Amino acid sequence: MNMRKSNALSVAVIGIMFFIFGFVTWLNGTLIPFLKISCELSNAQAYFVTFAFYISYFVMALPSSWVLHKTGFKGGMALGLAVMAVGTLVFIPAAYSRIYGLFLTGLFIQGTGLSILQTASNPYITILGPIESAARRISIMGICNKVAGVLSPLILGAIVLKNADVIKEQLGKLTNIIERESLLQEMASRVIFPYVIMAVVLILLAVLVRLSPLPD
């Protein structure tokens, strides 16, 4: 019975990891229109959001296995969460300065952490219990991922894209540079609060995973 409880707790922890995968990944769809307005980007420039995020998967594909060899699965998941938190915190100076390159740097760091996290979590869930129930556990993880994918754009969009159409219209009419910069700065600053909260959650999860009874 204790073994079953331990496995259930471990599966719940990994379920949180899969929720994080979906939540962070699907934020990109909301960031594209947000950064397009606040950093005054063209369509082509705005799509570098997804490029900067997913290119990290390509860069970290092989290094992730080396990292996990050094840290183990449990340590690798904690490290991945910590790296993601660092990338999230980069959004704070990026928002204050409205430097698009800083936003892309933060996204790349987030993707790097996420690639480590996924490399550890995906195989981990298959061996966390009887092999005959592995498919069921993977299905549950998929549900956690998709639920996060639904909630993520709704939550962030409600915060950073509130009255976005009105702001775009105002920007089109403003000729005073100071007023224009003030409005753009107000728009960019909206991302700070949700990303600070996300960074805190990621750090707490990293500590939770490190101290959890997850088997090495």
pLDDT, tens only, 106-130: 999 999 999 998 888 888 887 777 7
Is 15:140 a contact under the CB 8 Å cutoff? yes
Number of Cβ within 10 Å of residue 51's Cβ equals 12
CA dihedral 187→87→20→100, nearest 10 degrees, is 40
**Calpha distance 155→176 (Å, rounded):** 33
Is 94:102 a contact under the CB 8 Å cutoff? yes
* Terminal Cα distance for the chain, rounded: 20
On the question of pLDDT at 55 being above 90, the answer is yes
On the question of pLDDT at 66 being above 50, the answer is yes
The more confidently predicted of residues 175 and 71 is 71
What is the mean predicted confidence (pLDDT) over 89-99? 95
On the question of pLDDT at 8 being above 80, the answer is no
